[in-house]
Amino acid sequence: MEMVRMSVIYIHLLACCIAIGLVFASDVEMVRDLLKGHKPGGHDSTHMARLQKSVANALIFLWLTGIAVIGIDYLEKGMNYFANPKLQAKIIIVLLLTFNGMLLHRYVLPALLKAGSLLDLNVGVRTFALFSGALSGVSWLYAAMLGVCRPLAWKYSLTELLLAYPVLILLGFAMMAALTQWARKRRLAKATQAPAWPLAGIPC
């Protein structure tokens, strides 16, 4: 049974690494585009559909393998296994991550494809998109951290384990909101600049 558990955990970690890599690469590309000040080129329907499908498949594998690991450990340890605060924290974060992914798929991605750029979204949709993005990025990394930190099991309460989670989400949201606002102001300033007419050397 131990070899089966190790094999399932290995697949679980692979799926987690793939999902984090895809999300991180997408976020880095978006931040780079905002810093450079040009319209993002990665929001075409083909790219977004491929990214969405890859992350969704990784999330499905995480659910399946995670449930399998929980089932194996339950058979060995009994109901007391579910009292582990670290396990409870991981389940809460994955549930939030899954629900947030559904909202991104249902509302944010269609609006982003229609607008063509994060900067062109209206303020309400843009704020929701930034918050959902921050929650997604932090949740993937936080869940991975809880997964690899075995010494955290039974050492801290659920509240202590999740204490930094909302703080990191708010910090990520604040940073992206500030960067987006700066990019919008810079683009507006460029658009309102009057063209420089070559008057020098022209006789009056």
Angle of CA points 50, 108, 96, to nearest 5°: 90
The answer to whether residue 161 is domain-embedded is yes
Domain region containing 41: 2-185
In this prediction, residue 199 carries a pLDDT of 47
Which residue, among 28, 95, 29, 18, has the nearest Cα to 54 in the 3D structure? 18
Residues ≥6 apart with Cβ < 8 Å to 119: 34, 39, 126, 180, 183, 184, 187
**Residue 200 within any structural domain of the chain:** no
Grouping H, G, I as helix, E, B as strand and the rest as coil, residue 197 is coil
Pairwise CA distance, residues 66 & 71, whole Å: 9
In the predicted model, what is the mean pLDDT of residues 177-191?
83
Does 190 fall in a domain? no
Which tokens in the block code for residue 117? 């750029």
Residue 133 lies in a domain: yes
Handedness of CA 82, 95, 171, 143 (dihedral sign): positive
Give residue 31's pLDDT.
79
Reading the block at residue 188, the tokens are 């507006």
Q: What is the mean pLDDT of the chain?
A: 82
Is 66 inside a domain boundary?
yes
Mean pLDDT on 153-170: 91
User: In the predicted model, is pLDDT for residue 73 greater than 50?
Assistant: yes
In a domain? residue 177: yes
Determine the pLDDT at residue 44. 54
Per residue in 101-119, pLDDT tens?
888 888 888 888 787 777 7
How many domains does the chain fold into?
1
The answer to the question of residue 196 being in a domain is no
Task: Return phi, psi of residue 30, to 5°.
Answer: -65, -45
For the segment 113-127, the average pLDDT, to the nearest whole number, is 82
Residue 14, helix vs strand vs coil: helix
Is it the case that residue 4 has pLDDT exceeding 50? yes
**Which one-letter amino acid corresponds to residue 129?**
A
- The verdict on residue 39 lying in a domain is yes
**Which carries the bigger pLDDT value, residue 31 or residue 44?**
31
